[in-house]
Structure 1
Amino acid sequence: MGTKVLVIGLDGATPELVDRWVEEGKLPNLKRIMQNGVYGKLKSVYPPISPAAWTTFATGYNPGKHGVYDFRDYDNKRYSCFADTIVDSHAFAGKTFWDVIGAAGQKVGVITVPCTYPAWPVNGIMVSGYPTPDTGKNYTYPPDLSTAIPPLVGDAAFFKSATGHVLLKEMNRLLHLSFDVSIEQMKKDDYGFFVLVVGATDRAHHDWWKYIDPEHPAYTEEDAKQYGNLIEEVYKCSDECVGKFLDAIDEDTTVIVMSDHGGGSHPKYYFNANYVLRTLNLLQPNTRTNKKQGGLKAAFKKFYRTKIRRFAYLEKVYRSLPASLKKIATNIDSQNMMNLDSIDWKRTKAYRFPMYPPVEGIMINVAGRQPEGCVQPGEEYEAIRTRILDEMRSLRDPETGEPIVIEAYRREELYHGERLEMAPDIILVTQDRYKGGTDVDKLISEVPLDVISKLSGVHRMNGIIIAQGPHMRKNAILENANIIDVAPTVLYALDMPIPTDMDGKPLSGLFEETHLNESAASYSEERTFDNSEDDEYGYTEEEEESVRLKLEALGYL
């Protein structure tokens, strides 16, 4: 049997910030791991959002296999592009690499990995990570663990309403609590594998990036003086907590500190793909003014957008609504995001599919797939995809002359598997200064300052990986690492066979050449699973409403 493995996930931890603060001596424990091991950037998935990224980490599958692309399920048969359902663990429960480790007889501990609600039976313990229906309690396996430890998931209403140093204090409290509880649980049994993921670093970026970036539109010197140290303080607290884990393990334990993506400034500009499609005569605007939606529905939409959606304790208001109004509220944000009323769907062949920046999608309006599809599958479909890809690759910003789109793919070039069909037909990656917009009359438009200020940081494609352990290189740099490679790397470190259906490969750059030569990776047959997609899993209607509001409060919907 090989070494034990400990994974510490710092959601959103960013290479540029880690590099800066390690160099300045502010992250001594991360520096210690770097000097004793290997450090590099870890590329995320498309799009770089936590549900897709952490599920890829957990399974070793690409999103085309595990089917998790966002916090909401994609539904590309709808023009709103999203289903009403929130992602939960049913898509991959029992299919993670810690299930493989547990089935081989080793104990596993899994603490607050995102999107692991509901927790499922494992050979050890699990505490579900964000999002959960009620942050006032834990959702665990075994169930009695729930009341044995304090709640470990932060309250969305508090995180939306609290600001500055009050929020920093709560973030750091949760950091210490999560690490202390995890270390306590780890010491209670002989775990072959243990993982803890914390979200404070990601939350800090979203709220406070405007205080550290002089180029941010919402930056002011006065605010920077008062709040410019907040993100740094979260990183320093995270580093201190990592040190606790280092002190609690033995030298035979492999340690991997990683993030699912990086962070950066909120884009200043919308890139409006629908405008490009309009210029190609693939999208037709709806020139009729829609005046039919009056009465209660129209009044409620206005009230919801202007009043309820801005309320700090939104969830309490939402829960009190009649079922008919809840249903309207559920669809308002998707309709706003897509600007659905502006498009004549019967005469439109392609349209924007919103994804998380810097990733954006394009959907073809296919006959028999979308409600008013008019493009024939096969030759016409492929010709339109080729035309759009060529156009997007040649786009230039009229002000700067720089490319807008830096990567463009057919979906099957990025994804494969039984859930490939959930993805949009075309995937675009833009420069960081852009995010997807809905305008059909402008190529580029400015993002309102209040939007940028409210969610001042967003995600970037590159996270971090820092690792040390037996047989690992010392003080070395790792190149070309991808989050999909972590699962097979953990199994390799444990000297366990890697299922052949994993899409990643062991990160050989972590290990000494002599060890790689002496201990080649071994493989097992593809994993077989019981059908976990049954009534045991998934949110109730009330739980789903609660989670949706929490995600909205934190800026993810």
Structure 2
Amino acid sequence: MADAVGNPIKDVYIALDAAVGRLLQQVGEETTVFVLASHGMGPHYDGTFILDDILRRLKNVKMPTIGNQVSQVLSSSWEQTPILREILKPLRNYIWKPLRNRFWKSDKPVREALKEPDNSSRKCLTIPNNDTYGGIRINLVGREPKGKINPGSEYEAFCQHLTEDLMAVVNVDTGKPLVSKVIRTADFYKGEMMAHLPDLMVEWNREAPISKVYSPKIGTIEKTFTGVRTGDHKGDGLVFAIGPSIQPGQIQESISVMDFAPTIASILEVPLTDVDGKAIEAFCGKVLINN
């Protein structure tokens, strides 16, 4: 296959490099140019797929006996028998999915729906968010139909204890914490749509694959990630800059993306107030870049 398709990634980089070169030919030496890759790339490791299992163990939520048995059989067969997935794929794609989309209005496969308990009996549960940050919804009195946690001190204490429990979970294969941090959504977002967001967001330690986790409270949970995504964005990006006020070299410290707008405004000598970032001095000619 390599002989047939060559190296597509290398070809893309060559094309991008050539495109940047053509742009640089159109500007003069007095022009400042930035080339920004806002984030990096790497392997996809996350624990969102195992988060609800952890919450069930922490809060000892019992699943219906019949649903539990059926879901275990389906989950085991589906995840551990590739040939079964291939045989059932036409049924899944051409019969089940259209019926589900038309009548059920749910994005959960049958095996997930069967093992769902009555969520109104739970104190917290996962809700769809994304792979990088798992989303946790607290079953709050006055907000949910059958709330279990009262607003105020009980809510605050519950979130604190849950955060501590999650931070105690480790990735068995590395011995390191599974969770980097647990974020209170209300600390970052405000407004009328807050009631639709998770209460807590779980940021995963994405240094290594996640398949087996442990803590004294939950014991050991082992589960296979069955998603199709193998790569993912990383938080660290890359920026190249050239211009009359910029000397060759490399900046040693990290730069926030919040700093680019004030930097560009400073270079253009345009006032820009009430912003979160600050001008990057090395790009504005005030501080030399370290070689």
Shorter-chain TM-score above 0.5: yes
Q: Aligned partner of 2:180: which letter? A: I
1:185-200 aligned at under 5 Å gives the runs none
Corresponding residue to 1:503 among 268, 273, 276: 276
Q: CA deviation at 1:495?
A: 2.0
Q: CA deviation at 1:355?
A: 3.2
Corresponding residue for residue 163 of structure 2: 389
* Aligned equivalents of 2:156, 2:141: Cα separation in 1: 14
Q: CA deviation at 1:252?
A: 2.7
* Aligned equivalents of 1:487, 1:328: Cα separation in 2: 48
Corresponding residue for residue 242 of structure 2: 468
1:485-524 aligned at under 5 Å gives the runs 485-500=259-274, 502-513=275-286
Corresponding residue for residue 136 of structure 2: 362
* Aligned equivalents of 2:22, 2:46: Cα separation in 1: 39
Q: CA deviation at 1:361?
A: 2.2
TM-score by length of 2: 0.72
* Aligned equivalents of 1:372, 1:340: Cα separation in 2: 20
Corresponding residue to 1:443 among 204, 221, 243: 221
Q: Secondary structure of 1:481's match?
A: coil
Q: List per-residue Cα deviations over 1:252-306 (Å, max 9, x = no partner).
A: 322221123221123387651112212221645344539xxxxxxxxxxx99972
- Pair 1:483–1:444, CA change in 2 (3 A): farther
- Pair 1:352–1:508, CA change in 2 (3 A): farther
Corresponding residue for residue 409 of structure 1: 183
Corresponding residue for residue 380 of structure 1: 154
Corresponding residue for residue 23 of structure 2: 245
Q: How many residues align?
A: 260
* Aligned equivalents of 2:111, 2:284: Cα separation in 1: 47
Which protein has greater RCO, CA pairs closer than 8 Å, 6+ apart?
1
* Aligned equivalents of 2:166, 2:12: Cα separation in 1: 39
Corresponding residue to 2:203 among 429, 442, 454: 429
* Aligned equivalents of 2:24, 2:192: Cα separation in 1: 39
TM-score by length of 1: 0.40
* Aligned equivalents of 1:229, 1:337: Cα separation in 2: 40
* Aligned equivalents of 1:247, 1:272: Cα separation in 2: 51
Q: Aligned partner of 1:511: which letter? A: C
Question: How many percent identity over aligned positions?
Answer: 26
- Pair 1:326–1:359, CA change in 2 (3 A): closer
Q: Aligned partner of 1:358: which letter? A: T
* Aligned equivalents of 1:258, 1:309: Cα separation in 2: 45
Q: Aligned partner of 2:256: which letter? A: N
- Are the equivalent residues in 2 in contact too, given 1:267–1:435 (CA < 8 A)? yes
Corresponding residue to 1:456 among 230, 255, 262: 230
Corresponding residue for residue 307 of structure 1: 93
- Pair 1:376–1:305, CA change in 2 (3 A): farther
> Is the aligned partner of 1:232 residue 2:45?
no
Q: List per-residue Cα deviations over 1:440-497 (Å, max 9, x = no partner).
A: 997341223xx44xx3322222222222224234322252222233333333332222
Q: CA deviation at 1:247?
A: 0.9
* Aligned equivalents of 1:444, 1:492: Cα separation in 2: 53
* Aligned equivalents of 1:306, 1:476: Cα separation in 2: 53
- Are the equivalent residues in 2 in contact too, given 1:283–1:350 (CA < 8 A)? no
Q: Aligned partner of 2:183: which letter? A: Y
- Pair 1:228–1:402, CA change in 2 (3 A): farther
Corresponding residue for residue 215 of structure 2: none
- Are the equivalent residues in 2 in contact too, given 1:265–1:458 (CA < 8 A)? yes
- Pair 1:247–1:266, CA change in 2 (3 A): same
Q: Aligned partner of 1:365: which letter? A: N
- Are the equivalent residues in 1 in contact too, given 2:262–2:279 (CA < 8 A)? yes
* Aligned equivalents of 1:464, 1:420: Cα separation in 2: 33
Q: CA deviation at 1:309?
A: 9.7
Q: Aligned partner of 1:366: which letter? A: L
Q: Secondary structure of 1:357's match?
A: coil
Which of these two proteins has the greater Rg computed from alpha carbons? Answer: 2
- Pair 1:241–1:369, CA change in 2 (3 A): same
Corresponding residue for residue 87 of structure 1: none
- Pair 1:338–1:435, CA change in 2 (3 A): farther
* Aligned equivalents of 1:469, 1:496: Cα separation in 2: 18
